[in-house]
Structure 1
Amino acid sequence: MVSFSATNRDPLTTVLFDALSEHMDIRHFTWRFAILGHYDVLNMHWPDHLTKRHGRLQTWVRWMLYLLLMMRVRWGRPVLVRTLHNLAPHEGRRGVELGLLRLTDRWTDTFITMQPDPPLSTRAPIVFIPQGHYRDVYQKMPRREALAKRLLFFGIVRAYKGVPELLDAFAESEDDEMSLRIAGRVLDAEVGSAVRAAAAKDQRVSLHLDWVTHDALAEEIQLSEMVVLPYREIFNSGTVIVALSLDRPVLVPEDQTTARLRDEVGPGWVFLFQPPLTGRDIEVALASHRLSRPSDPPNLSAREWSEIASAYARTFEEAIHANSNS
């Protein structure tokens, strides 16, 4: 069983579930089945999504359900295999919720990480399985030509993603032909206010601060000449892979993860900058891309879902075997 429901809107959950279905009997998450049903493996994604609710009563009910789930995992012994999308929740957790998440870490039997050599302190086995691409998700959608010098940020607008800093850097450029599109739902009211205030000062900036459907997202990406993601930290970013899956170059901060990705996909697709982002960084990256456009699409051959599903299946089997011998 995977820890996301059938209504989850992240495209990763759809392609991963479909790929795993070729190898095993798999179910979406429901609280009833998670606590009372029979299953061999719980593949946990984003545990903080299961612990948070709006309202005090709903929050306490959710915490109690989650504690029951962890007790089921600990003593009922379905194997807990956790896929790490981030090293820590994007929004800080405290008190009871933090304790539940730490309990999850302590009782995880195997970690799956999307980056090799993650900075984890654990006795549990760590297995590297890369983030898969999204070409199959978008292959049937109409192709669109990019608008000249159009830049795009997309995804949920969170503090760590540096959207206000992106707007400040964009404002440094005096190129009137450039435009910037921000597309994504705002979770932090303070960040949202800062984004709206900065955009109001520059007519080259347009905003869509709401949920973006798969079809609309594909169009937003294809209409852009470059995607700019000035995250303050990147452990794994499905957003980068989405852009590359639609053959759009990305500008991202330089670190071990992004440098490795640049070498993997080939020249001309991943452009790096040293934080903080400046207007000059944007202009140089865009000019470099326009000067030598790659003739081949990004090389995402190491991210085929058939191979990823096989690796998941092997990991589950090894975790079950290790659990039966403990």
Structure 2
Amino acid sequence: MADRQGRRLRVTQLLADPNRSARPVENPYTSLLVSSLPDERIETRYFGWADVLTSDADVVHMHWPENSLRHPRTAVRLLKRALFLLFILRLRMRRIAVVRTVHNARPHEEGDRGERWILGLLEARTTLWVTLNDVTPTPDPRRTVVIPHGHYRDRFASPALEPRRGNLVHFGMLKPYKGVDELISAFAAVPHELDYRLHIVGESHDGPLTERVRAASRRDERMDIDLRFVDETELADAVGAAEIVVLPYRAIENSGSALLALSLHRPVILPESPSTRLLEEEFGDEWVGLYRGPLTAETLQRAVEDLRDRPRDAAGPDMSERDWPRLGSLLADAYDRAAASLRRRA
């Protein structure tokens, strides 16, 4: 619904504007989410540093606010943090509601003490929390709503390639928390007679990790690596060629990569956790294979063989609960709730 003056709710997204980005977004989740919002209810804007002094939004929606506080150069980092503190002050003075989506209980790359202090101030100003599942914790469950991560079926074209037996694929930006080291170690110990191959595709900005992956591929001709940013067509083809996608994240609460694999009708192997058990319950153990403990050659082989033996529907898993129009309506409801909550307090 519109606000009590009959106008659309003004929502500022603390995200880079995809229409002005110099390169395609690495994760299309946020652009799909924003585009799913009903136009008749929500007026969407993207954050700019001018908002520190001029924002007249009703709601600001944040996903990864720590990204706005970081920069490799100290002077720029300090300036960004000072401006962000002014922005928090404006949120308070103008009584702008803050909606915060919690993708993980803690950032994968922990910030310094100054960053944690600023995020603590922001937490105190947060009006409503959004989680992607029922198990991600928030500071106040009474002010929390669950809005699942949507699927990618309408965004990614059907893969042009058929799955290749024994072809295991790991994709996405390479980062240590995603368990790439464990994956290449486990794969190296898989017997060659099993005729497995491992394809790793994704950009890397971590020099030591990049070198470890390159060194592993030089030692094992069964490994193929493509360490660059690939467009969506190339990514769909890489995933489509997989018999199984392997995502051995060290800590996992939500995974857009898992949902992308499932959207392209490819089963996925994940470590067991409260959130991955929810995925298994939702999509079935024929699509989501879980393993316990560290990833080894034995657990990898067992997970592959288990998934391989399970029949699957050619139409793919049922993802109707993750249709974007439904999720956009739920998010618009959350914005309404947050804005109304501040009006009641006023």
Q: Which band: TM-score by shorter chain?
A: over 0.9
Find the counterpart in structure 2 of residue 156 from structure 1.
173
CA distance in 2 between partners of 1:154 and 1:269 (Å):
17
1:229-251 alpha-carbon deviations (Å, 9 max, x no partner): 11111111111111111111000
Matching residue of 2:238: 220
CA contact (8 A) 2:262 2:268 kept: yes
**CA displacement at 1:255 relative to structure 2:** 1.4
Structure 1 ranges of 4+ moved more than 4 A: none
Higher alpha-carbon deviation: 6-15 or 87-96: 6-15
Whole-Å separation in 2 of the counterparts to 1:266 and 1:122: 31
1:186-225 matched pairs, under 5 angstroms: 186-225=204-243
Aligned counterpart in structure 2 of residue 2 of structure 1, from 13, 16, 29 = 13
Q: Taking every aligned residue pair, what percent have the same amino acid on both sides?
A: 33
* C-alpha spacing 1:21/1:49, structure 2 compared with 1 (3 Å): farther
For the aligned residue pairs, the C-alpha RMSD in angstroms reads: 1.7
Which residue does the alignment assign to 2:306?
288
Q: Which amino acid aligns with 2:336?
A: E
- Separation in 2, partners of 1:18, 1:69: 25
Residue of structure 1 equivalent to 2:331:
312
Counterpart in 1 of 2:31?
14
- 1:10-159 to 2 correspondence within 5 Å? 10-22=27-39, 23-33=41-51, 35-122=53-140, 125-139=143-157, 141-159=158-176
- 2:317 matched to which residue of 1? 298
CA distance in 1, matches of 2:290, 2:279: 11
Instruction: Give the direction of change, closer, same or farther, for the CA distance of 1:34–1:130 in structure 2 (3 Å limit).
Output: farther
- Give CA deviations for 1:104-123 in whole Å, capped at 9, x if unaligned: 22211110001114333337
Offset, 1:36: 1.0
2:4 aligns with: none
Map Cα deviations across residues 120-149 of structure 1 (whole Å, 9 max, x no partner).
Answer: 33376011111111111014x553211221
1:147 partner amino acid: R
Deviation track 1:78-108 (CA, whole Å, cap 9, x = no partner) reads: 1000011111111110132221122222211
- In structure 1, distance between residues paired with 2:210 and 2:170: 14
Preserved CA contact (<8 Å) 2:267 2:289: yes
Contact 1:111 1:127 in 2 (8 A): yes
1:168 counterpart residue number: 185
Deviation at 1:66, TM superposition (A): 1.2
Question: Which ranges of structure 2 fall in alignment gaps of 5 or more residues?
Answer: 1-11
Q: Given residue 152 of structure 1, which amino acid in structure 2 is its aligned partner?
A: V
Aligned 8 A contact 1:108 1:124 in 2: no
Q: Secondary structure at the match of 1:26?
A: strand
AA at the equivalent of 2:181: P
Q: Secondary structure at the match of 1:50?
A: helix
Letter of the 2:278 counterpart: R
CA distance in 2, matches of 1:206, 1:81: 42
Distance 1:164 1:136, change over 3 A: same
The number of residue pairs the alignment matches comes to 325
Q: Is contact 1:151-1:181 (8 Å) kept?
A: yes
Counterpart AA for 1:48: E
8 Å CA contact 2:91–2:97 kept in 1: the answer is: yes
Instruction: Give the Cα separation in 1 of the matches to 2:141 and 2:236.
Output: 41
Letter of the structure 2 residue corresponding to residue 180 of structure 1? L
* Kept after mapping to 1: 8 A contact 2:104/2:136: no
In the superposition, the TM-score normalised over structure 2's length comes to: 0.89
- Hey, what's the Cα distance between the residues in 2 that align with 1:84 and 1:158? 20
Runs of at least 5 residues in structure 1 that lack an aligned partner in the other structure:
none
Answer yes or no: is the 8 Å Cα contact 1:129–1:311 preserved in 2.
Answer: yes
In 2, Cα distance between the equivalents of 1:317 and 1:292?
A: 44
Equivalent position SS for 2:286? coil
SS at match of 1:118: coil
1:180 aligns with 2:191: no
Indicate if the aligned counterparts of 1:167 and 1:195 stay in contact, CA closer than 8 A.
Answer: yes
**Per-residue deviation, residues 150-205 of structure 1 (Å, max 9, x unmatched):** 11111121111110110111111113421101111223323223222222211111
Tell me the amino acid that sits aligned with residue 317 of structure 2: P
3-state secondary structure, aligned to 1:82: strand
Q: Which moved more, 1:26-35 or 1:107-116?
A: 26-35
TM-score after normalising by structure 1: 0.94
SS in 1 for 2:61: strand
